[in-house]
Structures are given as structure tokens and as C-alpha cells.
Structure 1
Amino acid sequence: MRKAVLALSIGAILGLAGCGENDAKQTQAQEQTSQIAANEAGQEQSAEQAYLLLVDNYFNDLLKLEPIYATFVGVNDYNDQFGDGLSHAYLTERHQLNTRYLKEVKKIDRDQLSNELKLSYDMFNYDRNVALADETFPNHFMPMNQFYSTVISMVQLGSGESAQPFNTVEDYRNWEKRLLGFIDWLKLAQVRMNEGIESKVVLPRVLVERIIPQLSAQLVDNVDDSLFYTPITLMPESFSDTDKQAITAEYTKLIGEQLIPELTSLRNYFQNTYIKSSRATDGWWGLPNGKVWYQHLANSHTTTTMPVDEIHKVGLDEVARILSEMDKVRVQVDFEGDLNAFFASLSSEPQYFFTERQGLIDGYMELKEQINVQMPKYFNVMPKADYVVKPVESFREQSAAGASYDAPAVDGSRPGVFYINTYNLKAQPKWGMTTLSLHEAAPGHHFQIAIKQELTGVPEFQRFGGYTAFEEGWGLYAEYLGIEMGLFNDPYQYFGKLSDEMLRAMRLVVDTGLHAKGWTREQAIQYMKDNSPMAESDIIAEVERYMAIPGQALSYKVGQLQILALRAKSEQELGDKFDLKAFHDQILTSGSLPMEVMELKVNDWIASQK
């Protein structure tokens, strides 16, 4: 999956990292210059000019409201601001932003736009409606969980390897001010969670138990042992001694006298107050209006209107189909024993696992080279940006997913990152490496996200917005492409592909089971143990992730099935005229699309090819 970079309240926005600051500002200047010239010449504004100016203004207003998002897309005007995401003022301004721009976009005649801008118009309209619907649910009463934590995200921003720059003295002053905003957020989060307690909108107890050690890990005795002290260790040699001494003194005081005490207060709040009011139910159905809320989350994550019961049924059918395919592999490799015994063998025998963490990382680097050779055969458009393979940082590895992806900066200052969790090597079998690399890196997330960010001639919101169903659906479709690339000729690697596909199919069953059908955490864990060879530690982390971010896990399989259905339709209707590279161009070159908009685009392409 793509790695989230901020708390759940803004995580959906902030994981969509980066363009260059000049790109965004140049686009804005060009649009404004064009409009001024048209006005001076007495020309009536066209629908396309009106639309482009509107969405450009929206994007800039959004950057003001979400300053950390601005940092991630390379606009550094707000690097000194945190953006609380929880205050009444913020919630009001967010509502007004979506309401105002939805009203304004409806004044523009869609029929007067080009085909490409019609898609963009539909995306923009869709986004505003979903955002307004989302506002009707009290997400802000649960501002963090064990999976999306603003604390961890701020550590990552301060690491020097993320979007926050640490090149000048001003950069350091900006981070200091942003930390002050973060300290205010830590206080406000407790206020919101208290309101959640009063409204009975609280986290399950087990998730609270996971958060406490994450916070405790930040409570060091010596300031220079704090991960928030990392920028001091990265200070450029070019800084004067006076600046170095002043910055070090200020950071030491800020971390020691304000940040750590506030983090301690938050840890104590979870440990002594919040946990007593946490809920015994594991799914969203246990919250007020929880089933309606969950149906909304399922629809927003999948960008469909599929009822939860239908999604559950699709999952059950897919699990049965994939189990049958897995059993064929068992027969092919002449394994003596039933499928469960095959699962047990693949999950335990030493030859299927690395013994050293670096060996796992090196193995993925070798796979990268093998896969890259195949890419020109299947794609006309490929990303300019490269990606690197890194282990998940030690401070978050116990709760992190098995793998994840961080987007590159378009200006070339930061490559994409394919993160591998090396905490438990028994959760990273060798037979699962090919499919995982295809999904997270090339041609999966790295291709889709990097290409999207490198697009020209499309509105900024389109380059840096995204939909989980499209992005994760593409990642799972990328695994399917591995079959055609000949990367699964080894039956054990093919089993790895089936195993990962099984995970996505089980998610349809387990996520809906937990949140709509009253399943317990233990019931969900047992279902996954019965139907896959996954390590138990991995299964537990997965189930607790679904508990924390309901509906998100549905998007993988739903998105893949939608893309495969559109490809099948294209092949059937175009026959010999079907070009797989051209089909991939259609999917990748308009950014991330809601499923309905993607279908419209492909249908138009089919008609044009005929």
C-alpha cells in the first residue's frame, strides 16, 4: 500500500507528495495572465478558461488551509505553519471551501469543455460532493490511531528525508514554528477526543493499547536522544557557528520544555483516561450511526455505489476461486499433504525466508532490475523519476504494513521510496517478493503516482489528488501484468501472487464483516488464518489496520476488478485494433480517477479507436 504521511484527519490529502514550487506558481501565473489579457481585449471568458481558473484558485486556497500538504507538493510558502485540522475555525473554513467551489463549478457549462477537461470537471465535482458528505460524520473525534499517527508523521517530516527542507537557517526556523503548531495540535486532540467520549465516538480498546507504546517511545530522558532532535544532527556545515549555537539552543529548549511534556501528557491521557472509555466493539457498527457511516466510507474508498453486502459476496466468491488456484500450485509442485499443510510448509520452512535483513533488501534491488527490463514492452509512458528500496524505520516497524510506497519529488530532489518492513523476516517470504515489488514499485504505485505528478497541461488538483480504488486497483492490476511478463513462471512465485491476491479478496470479507456484520477482531483473524499462509503477526496487523481505517482495504480488489473489466471490454470491442500500451496510456495519463470517470474515459477511447 502507499504509506500515509499524516494523521487520519488529513492523511488522505497528504500522502500525495510532490511537485516543484515553481511548477504550481507558473501554472497559476499563466492562467491569471491569460484571463487578464482576455479581459483587457474585451473578450468573453471561455468555459475552459473559467474552469481552469476556478480549479487553480481552489488548489491555492486548499494549500493555505492545508500547509503541510503544500510542503508535500513543493510549495514552500507555508513551511512554518502546521494547520490544526481539528479546530472549529478549520472545520468551518473547510466546509465553506467545498460549498463555495461546488456552487461555482456548477455555473460552468460542462458541454463546452474539451474531453480531457470534462473528465477533470467530473473529478472536481465528485470530490466536492464526497468531501461535503464526509463532513456529516464526526471523524475529528478520533484524530489518531495506531496506523495513522500525526506524531509519527511529524517525526518523518523532521527526518531530513521527507518533504520538509532543512537547507537554510530559515528552513530551521520554519520547522521550529511548525513544531509549535504541532504542540498546539497535541492539546487540541485531547479536547476532541473528550468530545468523542461524550458522544461515544471512540477507538476500540486494542487500538488504544497499540498507540500507548508508540507515544512512550518518544518520551526520552535526554533531548538529543529524541527523534525530533534529528534536524540538529543534519545541520549544514555552511551555517555559521552563531546560527548553529542559536538553533541548537532553541530546539533543545523547545523539545525539552514543551514538546516532550506535551507528548507525555498525551500518552498519559491515552493510558489513564481515554482507554477507560474505549469501546469493546471492534467494528464501525458499534458507533452511533455506524453502519450508515461505514457504507459512506466503503463508497468513498471504492469510488462506487456498491452496497456493503454485495462487496462481501464478491469477496467470498474471490476467496473460493483463489483457493482453487492455490491448490493447483500445490499439485504442480508435488506437495504431499492438503492445502493447509502446504500453507504451513510455505510459512515455516527455513528455505523460504532470509536470515538477514539486508538480504531481503538486496533481493528486492535485484528484482527491480529484472522487472525494469520488461517495462518498455508494456508501456509507452514511463516515469522519469526513479525509486529506491529502504527498510521501514525502526521506530514504526512494529505497527507498519509489510511494505509501502512514498512518492518522489518531481523536481528530482527525492526519489520514490519502496519501504520493506524487515521487523519480522518470517512475514516476508521469498515467494512473495515478485508480486509485492510489482504492486508497490514498478509498474504499480511508482509508475502510476510518478507519472501522475509528471503530467503537464492538467490542473494541479488533478496531479496531486488521488483515489484509493484507482491507485490500489492499479497496484493489484500491476501484479496481474506480471503473469503476462513471464515473471511468475516459477510456481512458488505464482503462489506468492495468489497469496497477495487472496489478501485483497479476504479484505472484502473481513472489512465488511468487522464493520457491518458484527465480526470480532478474533473472528477476523481466524478467517484470514484459515484461508492464507500469512504469518500470524502480519494477519493481526492487517486486521487492526482495517479496524482503524474502515473501507480503505476494500478499494484494492474492487479497483482491480474494474480495471480488468474495462480492459476485457476494450479487447472485445476493438479486437485486432486493441493495443495494450495504448490502453495503459488511457488509464495512467489523466491522473487518479474515480471508477465512474475512468469508465467514461475508456468508453470514449474505444469509440475513437473504432
Structure 2
Amino acid sequence: MKKAVIALTIASLFNVQACSKAPENNPTLAAESSQAQAEISSSAQYQALADSFFKDYLALEPIYATFVGVNDHNSEFGGDLTEAYLKARHELNTRYLAKAMDIDVATLPDDLKLSHDMFVYDRKIELVNETFPERFIPINQFYSNLITMIQLGSGESAQPFATVEDYQNWLSRLEGFVEWIALAQQRMNEAIASKVVLPKVLVDRIIPQLDSQLVNDAKQSLYYAPINQLPVEFTAEDKAKLTADFQAMINGKLLPALTGLRDYFKTTYSANARASDGWWGLPNGKAWYQHLANKHTTTTMPVEEIHQMGLSEVARILTEMDKVREQVGFKGDLAAFFNELSSNDKFFFSDRQDLVDGYMGLKDKINAVLPAYFNVMPKADYVVKPVEDFREKSAAGASYESPAVDGSRPGVFYINTYNLKAQPKWGMTTLSLHEAAPGHHFQIAIKQELESVPEFQRFQGYTAFEEGWALYAEYLGMEMGLFSDPYQYFGKLSDEMLRAMRLVVDTGLHAKGWSREQAIQYMKDNSPMAETDIVAEVERYMAIPGQALSYKVGQLTILKLRAEAEAKLGEKFDIKAFHDQILTSGSLPMAVMEQKVGRWVKAELAK
């Protein structure tokens, strides 16, 4: 409910009271009136609190503000490694948690009770998070400001480049980025002293990424892209000045800073990188990893329980895979079937563009069946693009980027075309369902388009919910009739196997002392994935521990809630209405989602 709506509601209530008989003469009316006023009061209090928090948070995280379409901070980079930032973040979470706990939750309507639960959960998890030294690892090969800034500067992401001021804002942000690079090195020096460093193999992946950004001529730099896209309406004088300013920034400040960072990684940091591959090798690493597992799955499941869940799921999916092998008449064993699927040229494209075009064709096929399963669908569209050259060697096989909040840019389904043998045709349907519609594109775009929730709720994300939904979307593809081809169904099983193996491998690496090589071999033994893909996956888990656990945990939770709802509601169960419940409050922690679905089932039974 927006502020204007709240004000209107309050005014309407007062008008109704003025036109009614005095409620004190009717105890029932008096009680109802008192409850309504309390609800409006607490709702207004919570809404104001949530709005104020979001504004303060965007001021603290200016790049995030740009991504959510708030352009007030586009000239700022942010000081996420400074002591001032760390103090401000702590004070922000502490102050707003205390304010949230002062609200009379019992008088909130159900939708705001849910929002309040999310808000309190976030503040508490962030306060725990800051007790671990994440500032000591500001860069990894999978994602960091080094990658984000190139994407923003491409002119095809969230950073606007429509006016001269936009260009000047970007130059100012680059100034902050140069300062951040120097500060990152200071933090990594502290990390070396504290022995909180990356594994050597990940350092070896970062260095080529930095090398690719180092060119002698500013005009060849990835950061020069905005100058190649100068709006035609700019004056010749503006164009000349901006071009000169960009060249001065890139040659005079940015490239020297990036060169220094590359040299730092090659010498100082690399020499002090750790030999262990998992978080267990860090000081207090096992406790830190359990926290990360909790944070990403939004549960309190012990790491060992997650590991065993993974082993069970791997065994189940292997059985299903063997059934497909028998169905298609393959004579060898499952290992030989894996080899056939990963090596026979008929299962792969030979041209990068053909792969991208294939996904665009799938988009139309999937879109045709979506109305039978969803009442609510996103207004924003999505497009399919190849992963950019500079990051394709270390990037995942596919990913999704949300659309612009103002509708000016569609969502992007990125497909990695670097190694076509890592992108089998039989895996296309399930990957499209996961990354695009009705997976990430539906969940994230619909969330951004919500109008009756606090702003933070439109942009907040929980990995377990978002990745759990995307994996559930793959499951839904079976009901949609999209896996009638046994090879495409095998692709669905293969992707599900990836998520099941992640439970085993991530926990193995970070809690059980597994080596990188042990993790790679486990995935080779249990899936037909290309080795390059497996290596990139394992190194991703090494860089961002716990994140990969969220997929299966989230999916199994959604499936459990659906099964329980179907059992209780019987013929009253409506798949579209169930999906409405999951998608129309934004991203939710698992416990909050369970509460919401439980209330919906109870209300449906009462009808």
C-alpha cells in the first residue's frame, strides 16, 4: 500500500465515522472501529519505516540504486570497503531492526505481516553476516565490481547514457572505482595477514580477466564503449569534450589502476593464496560456511543434512536417467550413454548464433503454453544474448539479468557460447525454463512490477526462493508437455542432477575437506556435463560458498508446499492460484513462504 493510498484510507475512515452513529452506543462497532484505526496506524508506521529504510539503503549502496532504477546516486561508486561504510551499514541494520520490533505486528494486515517478517529476517541475518570478514575477499573470478563496472559501462545495462550529465556521472563513478581498486588491495593485504585469502587456482582465473581489460589505447578499452554510442543530438563541443575526458580517465587513471591490481595479483597475492580449496581452510571457516548455507537457503539446516539430501537426490536422478537410456534403446551402460550425449556432434550446434537463435525459437514455444498455468505474467519481455567475450571463459553456462524497472530495457537471458560442446541441444528446454520464462524472468520481473508492497520488497532477493522457483519451473515443464522428447527430458534430469550434485559438492568442498579435483571427479562420474562446464561450476562453488545449495532446497520446499496444498484442497486446488501465492509478494524466505501458503490454504478451505 503506497503512502497516498494510506492517506486516502485514513481519510475515508474518518469520513465513515463522521457519517455513522456514535460507535460508543454499539460495542461491536466500537471494537471494529478501534481495530481498523490500530491497523491503519501500524500499517502507516511500518510503511513509513520500510520506505525510509529503502531510501537510506540506496544512499549506502549507489550501484544497487542504479540497478533498481533510482538514478539519484549514478555519479557515486560507494565505499563498501571503508571503515565508514562498515560502521554505517551496522548502524543502519541495528537502527531499523529496533524500529521494526517496536511495531505492533498483531494489528498489521496479513500482507504487511509477511513483509514485516521479511524485513526483520533481513536485518538479523545481515547483522550476523557482518561478524565474518567478507571484506577481506572483495574480488573473485565469478563476480565482483570488476565485472559489474564493465557491464554498466557497456551502455546496455542499468547505467543510463542519454544526456551529457549521464556521461559525467559515469566518469565520476569511474573515479570512485579507481579509489575502490586501491582500497581493495589494502583489504587484501589485511587478508593476507589474517590468512583469509582465495585459493591459488581462483587467483589464476582472475589474472586473465584483468589482462583482457588492459589495452594501450583508450579507444580499444571496454570502458570506451559509451563514447562509441554518443547520442546524435549531442553538440560537437560536448562530444569532443566527453571523448577527451574519457580518454584521460581511461589512460591516465583507470588503466594504471587495473594494471597495478593485475600486478598485485600476479605477485603479492598469488604468493600468499591458500592451498586449501574450501572454506574449512579459513580461520573459523566451518562456522562461516554454516552461516552462508543458512543465508543462501534461508533455513537453519545443518550442513551435514544438506549433504545427505544431495546424495539421496543424486541416487534418485541416476535411476531416472537410466530409464531414459533404456527408452531410447541405447545398448551401453549409463556412463557410455553420458559419453554419447556429450560427444556426438548431432547433439551440438557448430555455430554460436545458431545456438542463440535456437533459444529464441524455444521462447515462442514455451510462451504459447504459459497462460494455462499462470494468472499473473510479467509485462516486461526478455531477449537472448551471448555472454560477453571478456567474461565468457569463467562465466556460467547461462544467466539472467532483470529488465529495467521503467520498462526501457527487457530482461536478458545470457547464454555462454564460448564452448558449444558445453551447450547440448538436449539441455535447451530445461535451461530456457529455468533462466527465462517461467523461471527467473517471471519471478524477478513480476516482483519488480508489484505495486502494493514496500519498495525494498520489489527488489529484495533470496537465492533459495529465486533459484528454487527456477528449478520448480523446470519441473513444471513436464506438466506443460515440453518434455515429450526423451532427450529433452534427459536434459531436464541432467540439469536437476547438477543442482543435486551441488548439495554434495558444495558441502564436500567447504565442510568435508574435499579437494577441487575430488569435486570435479564426482561431477564427471554422475553427469554428462562437459568438463569445462564442470570445472567452471566447481570453481564457482569455491568462490561463493553456499549459494549453490539454494536451488534444490528451494525447489523441494515449493514442491512440498504444493503437494500439501493439493492434498488438503483436493478439487479446490487451482494451479494458477497457487502460483499467484508464490509469485505475488516478491522473493520470500522459506519460512515466510510456508506461512503465506498455509494461510491461503486455510482461506480456501473456509470458502
> Which one of 466, 470, 475 corresponds to residue 461 of structure 2?
466
Partner of 1:331: 326
Q: Does 1:485 align with 2:487?
A: no
SS at match of 1:398: coil
* Separation in structure 2 between the aligned mates of residue 600 and residue 63 of structure 1, nearest angstrom: 29
Matches within 5 A, 1:479-558: 479-558=474-553
> Which one of 53, 60, 73 corresponds to residue 58 of structure 1?
53
Q: Does 1:112 align with 2:107?
A: yes
* Separation in structure 1 between the aligned mates of residue 284 and residue 570 of structure 2, nearest angstrom: 49
SS at match of 1:442: coil
* Separation in structure 2 between the aligned mates of residue 406 and residue 105 of structure 1, nearest angstrom: 31
SS at match of 1:74: coil
Change (3 A) 1:332 1:205: same
> Which one of 122, 142, 146 corresponds to residue 127 of structure 1?
122
> Which one of 444, 448, 452 corresponds to residue 453 of structure 1?
448
Q: Does 1:573 align with 2:564?
A: no
* Separation in structure 2 between the aligned mates of residue 223 and residue 399 of structure 1, nearest angstrom: 25
* Per-residue CA distance 1:223-248 (angstroms, 9 max, x = gap): 10000111111111111111111111
Partner of 1:411: 406
* Per-residue CA distance 1:167-192 (angstroms, 9 max, x = gap): 00000110010000000000000000
Partner of 2:556: 561
Partner of 2:293: 298
Letter in 2 for 1:205: K
SS at match of 2:390: coil
Q: CA deviation at 1:31?
A: 6.6
Identify unmatched segments of 5+ residues in structure 2: 19-36
* Separation in structure 2 between the aligned mates of residue 519 and residue 70 of structure 1, nearest angstrom: 39
Quick one: percent identity of the two aligned structures?
70
Matches within 5 A, 1:269-348: 269-348=264-343
Partner of 2:584: 589
Partner of 2:28: none
Change (3 A) 1:103 1:412: same
Partner of 1:172: 167
Partner of 1:268: 263
Check the 8 A contact 1:147/1:399 in 2, yes or no.
Answer: yes
Q: CA deviation at 1:149?
A: 2.2
SS at match of 1:493: helix
* Per-residue CA distance 1:300-355 (angstroms, 9 max, x = gap): 00000100000000000000000000000000011010000000000000100000
* Separation in structure 2 between the aligned mates of residue 279 and residue 335 of structure 1, nearest angstrom: 45
Letter in 2 for 1:239: F
Letter in 1 for 2:398: A
* Separation in structure 2 between the aligned mates of residue 297 and residue 244 of structure 1, nearest angstrom: 47
* Per-residue CA distance 1:403-459 (angstroms, 9 max, x = gap): 000000132200000000000000000000000000000000000001111111100
* Separation in structure 1 between the aligned mates of residue 282 and residue 594 of structure 2, nearest angstrom: 35
Change (3 A) 1:33 1:87: farther
SS at match of 1:389: strand
Letter in 1 for 2:410: P
* Separation in structure 1 between the aligned mates of residue 336 and residue 68 of structure 2, nearest angstrom: 49
SS at match of 1:570: helix
Partner of 2:600: 605
Q: CA deviation at 1:33?
A: 9.7
SS at match of 1:450: helix
* Per-residue CA distance 1:177-214 (angstroms, 9 max, x = gap): 00000000000000000000010000000000000010
- More displaced stretch, 597-606 vs 406-415: 406-415
> Which one of 126, 134, 142 corresponds to residue 147 of structure 1?
142
Hey, which bits of structure 1, 4+ residues long, moved more than 4 A? 26-39
Partner of 1:425: 420
Check the 8 A contact 2:292/2:545 in 1, yes or no.
Answer: yes
Check the 8 A contact 1:28/1:56 in 2, yes or no.
Answer: no
Partner of 1:81: 76
* Per-residue CA distance 1:105-150 (angstroms, 9 max, x = gap): 0000111000000000000000000000000000000001000121
Letter in 2 for 1:156: Q
Check the 8 A contact 1:301/1:469 in 2, yes or no.
Answer: yes
Change (3 A) 1:354 1:251: same
Aligned pair count reads 583
- More displaced stretch, 286-295 vs 45-54: 45-54
SS at match of 2:79: coil
Letter in 2 for 1:124: F
Check the 8 A contact 1:587/1:598 in 2, yes or no.
Answer: yes
* Per-residue CA distance 1:385-416 (angstroms, 9 max, x = gap): 10000111111100000000000013220000
Q: Does 1:212 align with 2:207?
A: yes
Which structure has the larger Rg?
Answer: 2
Q: CA deviation at 1:37?
A: 12
SS at match of 2:414: strand
Q: Does 1:375 align with 2:370?
A: yes
Check the 8 A contact 1:84/1:182 in 2, yes or no.
Answer: no
Check the 8 A contact 2:2/2:453 in 1, yes or no.
Answer: no
> Which one of 381, 396, 402 corresponds to residue 386 of structure 1?
381
Q: Does 1:237 align with 2:253?
A: no
Check the 8 A contact 1:212/1:267 in 2, yes or no.
Answer: yes
* Separation in structure 2 between the aligned mates of residue 209 and residue 185 of structure 1, nearest angstrom: 21
Change (3 A) 1:468 1:575: same
* Separation in structure 2 between the aligned mates of residue 57 and residue 149 of structure 1, nearest angstrom: 28
Q: CA deviation at 1:74?
A: 1.1
Partner of 1:163: 158
Letter in 2 for 1:429: P
Identify unmatched segments of 5+ residues in structure 1: 1-25
* Separation in structure 2 between the aligned mates of residue 83 and residue 35 of structure 1, nearest angstrom: 39
| TM-score, normalised relative to structure 1 | 0.94
Check the 8 A contact 1:35/1:49 in 2, yes or no.
Answer: no
Letter in 1 for 2:542: M
* Separation in structure 2 between the aligned mates of residue 101 and residue 38 of structure 1, nearest angstrom: 29
SS at match of 1:395: helix
SS at match of 2:413: strand
SS at match of 2:400: strand
Check the 8 A contact 1:204/1:280 in 2, yes or no.
Answer: yes
- More displaced stretch, 134-143 vs 30-39: 30-39
Check the 8 A contact 1:59/1:460 in 2, yes or no.
Answer: yes
Letter in 1 for 2:76: Q
* Separation in structure 2 between the aligned mates of residue 257 and residue 536 of structure 1, nearest angstrom: 41
Check the 8 A contact 2:3/2:44 in 1, yes or no.
Answer: no
Change (3 A) 1:33 1:180: farther
* Separation in structure 2 between the aligned mates of residue 139 and residue 452 of structure 1, nearest angstrom: 28
Partner of 2:96: 101
Q: CA deviation at 1:38?
A: 11
SS at match of 1:423: coil
Change (3 A) 1:30 1:534: same
* Separation in structure 2 between the aligned mates of residue 301 and residue 397 of structure 1, nearest angstrom: 25
Change (3 A) 1:29 1:273: farther
Partner of 1:15: none
* Separation in structure 2 between the aligned mates of residue 55 and residue 38 of structure 1, nearest angstrom: 23
SS at match of 1:482: helix
| TM-score, normalised relative to structure 2 | 0.94
* Separation in structure 1 between the aligned mates of residue 561 and residue 421 of structure 2, nearest angstrom: 37
